[in-house]
Amino acid sequence: MMKKRIVITGIGVLAPNGIGKHEFWSALKKGASGVKPVTLFDTSNLRTKLAGEISNFNPKTILGQKGLRNLDRTTLLVLCASKLALEDAKLPCPVPEKDTDICGVSLGSTMGSVRSISEFDKEALREGPRAVNPALFPNTVINSPASHISIKFNIQGFNSTIATGFCSSLDAIYYAMNMINLYEYKVVLTGGVEELCEQTYKGFHKIGHLAGSRPGKEEIDCPFDKRRNGIVMGEGACIVVLEELEHARARDAKVYAEVLGYGTSFDPESKNIYSPKAKGATESIKYCLEDMGLKEGDIAYISASANSTLDCDVMETRAVKNVFGKKAKKIPISSIKSMIGDSFSASGAMNLGASIGVMEENFLPPTVNYKKLDRRCDLDCVPNKTREQEINNILVNSFSPTGNNSSLTIGKL
């Protein structure tokens, strides 16, 4: 069966360094970080104090006043991103009845319900089950945010939530592509979301996964840098509108990019650590390039999974060298996580949202906070300063310490 051509016609993004595509892309151009002291919860008893928190978030300015009271932060973030994406694609919002069956939702989210589950159970334990507000129960279900997208915007086609950890949003985008390829869906809202919450923050602090959480370590977000010692947590939501090319052309839609290929590989040697051999990461990139017949020389920029952990950045460097060989050091690769933190399930979609801006505005975002060379991470990581450069094809990576590895390529139409 011949594949349909699938394009991106809209983007909605909420990031720690900007709300909306223009703010986000402008911040990336400037190398402006959204990492700041946490205000959503108390960190006074922790070694770490920083995160990529979305400050001054007021969903009413985007969604209006009605129907928001019982929705959790994850749902509000992704509803805002979805509305921005629909508006950017110049699609009716909500979707009219005549078109609703050809539209769908595919969302990547893994830990979005952790805070809601915790708060719901806490109330039940303190006051007893009868005292719990039943209106809060839907927030505890992992597919609730995706369902609310469909409810809010009248999307009556398929509705799916993909929870594969760090790779969730890229995997959700691939699921969306398959639904367009295999069935009669023409438009899909897809991407990822993750909120910053006390429960996950303290959990990762406890296991020493956060930068600065271990005694004597600096709290710094510096991918590829020798000083790196863990992630800075982030939050965010990025939704893109995927559309069949012919459908987009028929309504004269602006096309940002074409989705060219996808690859994934599970590495059983990863047991809560990034595999030093980089077998799964290498295979995911190879499969991605093979998916649409791209060659190593066709990739002009890599949006990195590198998250400032000792092992992830080395593993990605090794995987890039394994695939691209002698060309590896000539391909610029940078990590926007140095500016927004690691948003887990949303990170792949956030990288994609940044990559759309790279193509649209002809720039390479820097890896900020880069000072000290690690010879194991000796690629061109675009240190500290943005570069002006026209880019055609981009590879987006999302790798996980639990074995999942996914890669996606986009290109100019």
**pLDDT tens per residue across span 329-345:** 999 999 999 999 999 99
- Note the Cα 121 to chain centre separation in Å: 28
- What residues have CB less than 8 Å from 144, skipping those under 6 apart? 75, 113, 138
Mean pLDDT, rounded, of the chain: 95
Distances (CA, A) of 253 to 73, 81, 200, 358, 396: 31, 19, 40, 20, 24
* Average pLDDT estimate for 133-156: 92
The residue among 406 and 111 whose pLDDT is bigger is 406
2 has a pLDDT exceeding 70: no
CATH 3.40.47.10 location in the chain: 6-250, 261-411
Between helix 347-361 and helix 168-182 the angle, nearest 10°, is 70
Please state, in angstroms and rounded to a whole number, the distance separating the CA atoms of residues 132 and 10: 39
Q: In this predicted model, what pLDDT tens digit does every residue of 187-208 receive, in sequence order?
A: 999 999 999 999 999 999 999 9
Tokens representing residue 98 in the block? 């005549």
CATH 3.40.47.10 fits 261-411, yes or no: yes
- Least confident piece of the model among 11-25, 161-175, 235-249, 260-274: 260-274
CATH 3.30.300.30 fits 6-250, yes or no: no
pTM listed for this prediction: 0.96
Q: Which helix (H) or strand (E) holds 387?
A: strand 387-388
Segments in 326-391 forming alpha helices (H): 337-340, 347-361
- What residues have CB less than 8 Å from 59, skipping those under 6 apart? 68, 76, 77, 79, 80
Q: Do the Cβ atoms of 289 and 263 come closer than 8 Å? A: yes
Q: Which helix (H) or strand (E) holds 265?
A: strand 257-266
* pLDDT of amino acid 130: 75
- What residues have CB less than 8 Å from 247, skipping those under 6 apart? 186, 187
Q: Do the Cβ atoms of 263 and 286 come closer than 8 Å? A: yes
Tokens representing residue 78 in the block? 């992704």
User: To the nearest 10°, the Cα dihedral for 404, 397, 243, 11?
Assistant: 120
How does strand 50-52 pair with strand 35-37? antiparallel
Best CA proximity match to 254, nearest among 235, 268, 238, 240:
240
Between helix 279-291 and helix 310-324 the angle, nearest 10°, is 50
* pLDDT of amino acid 1: 57
According to DSSP, residue 308 is labeled S
Q: In this predicted model, what pLDDT tens digit does every residue of 39-96 receive, in sequence order?
A: 999 999 999 999 999 998 999 999 999 999 999 999 999 999 999 999 999 999 999 9
- What residues have CB less than 8 Å from 182, skipping those under 6 apart? none
According to DSSP, residue 246 is labeled H
Between helix 347-361 and helix 21-30 the angle, nearest 10°, is 80
| 3-state secondary structure (DSSP) of residue 5 | coil
Q: Do the Cβ atoms of 53 and 235 come closer than 8 Å? A: yes
Between helix 73-88 and helix 144-153 the angle, nearest 10°, is 40
- What residues have CB less than 8 Å from 163, skipping those under 6 apart? 108, 109, 110, 142, 345
- Least confident piece of the model among 17-21, 108-112, 175-179, 356-360: 108-112
Distances (CA, A) of 145 to 133, 356, 373, 407: 19, 24, 41, 24
Q: In this predicted model, what pLDDT tens digit does every residue of 208-235 receive, in sequence order?
A: 999 999 999 999 999 999 999 999 999 9
